[in-house]
Amino acid sequence: MLPVTLASLRKLQNEGTPITMMTAYDYPTALLTHSSGIDMTLVGDSLSQVALGHYNTNQITLNEMIHHCKAVARGAKTPFIVSDMPFGSFEASVQQGVESAVRLVKEGYVDGVKIEGGKEIIPLVKRLTEIGIPVMPHLGLQPQRATSLSGYMVQARSSAGAKELYETAMALQQAGAFALLLEAIPHKVASYITKQLDVLTIGIGAGPGTSGQVLVASDVLGVFPTEEEAAAAAEAAAEHGQGQQPLQGVKVAKFVRRFGNVGSESRRAVREYIDAVRSGGFPEIGKETYMMGKEEWEEFERSTGKKE
């Protein structure tokens, strides 16, 4: 397969073929996006939580993002790779934003950057476009601003809010954005904006009317147990007198659909491994061990003066 480019993404958009995008945070998840034929790979700052265990996305640093981008670039050979610009890497000035974006491209080997913000990032979007760095502004729900938004709330539900979002989207297109990410907004608003724009839109919690969709890899795969699954597992363990550690469930957003349950299978495999070790069933002599010639073994025993 040939690498995905801006031209091939535009071709998909013009043909009406929905574009696929998924996050990747390391070499294994990057290989997954590559081998599965994903169009775009997002090195999202959500890795702050799902890969590094931080409380929110704002805790990850630019250096950490670059570190993960490098790993993703080694595995995602065909998808178009976009990296989030983390909180604190672009807000101070256009110059700071340019320097951070250049580092992500030059050191992290990504194809473009995603920036959360509204009209205030227009100068940065314009400047990055001028120097040849593709930019995807992130509108609607912006996790980096969750505190100021009073939490992870659906945006643009009012007429005034929808109009402001539309005007911002048009202005960012004019500034040179190659795409927009629309998160947690009414599907009619997302469809309307998509139809009015020339550039492509990627939705997450924005309905099917966008040019494409993005989801977090751990959500698609079902890596973490939901709150309901964690409670059920704890109840089942108590009933059977099992002493396993309680699971910490995660709250799943309305727009998330899990297409697998890797987490459950992984936990089953680890528990089976523990049982096999403790019962003496693993490793199995002969099948899972290495042998030594009889003469060499006898010579070894003689050299030590002891027998088994």
Q: Give the residue from 98, 157, 107 showing the smallest Cα distance to 131.
A: 98
N-term to C-term CA, the chain: 58
Other Cβ atoms within 10 Å of 45 Cβ, number = 27
Distance from C-alpha of 29 to C-alpha of 79, rounded to nearest angstrom: 12
13 dihedral zone (left: phi>0; alpha: psi -120 to 50; beta): alpha
Q: Which member of 183, 229, 235, 288 is catalytic? A: 183
Exposed, middle or buried, 209 (CB in 10 Å: 0-12/13-18/19+)?
middle
Distance from C-alpha of 22 to C-alpha of 246, rounded to nearest angstrom: 29
CA Rg value for the chain: 25
Structure tokens of 89?
Answer: 């890497």
Give catalytic status of residue 183 as yes or no: yes
Collapsing DSSP to helix, strand or coil, 38 comes out as coil
Beta bridge partners, 20, equal 213
Give me the amino acid identity at 143.
P
Q: What are the catalytic residues?
A: 183
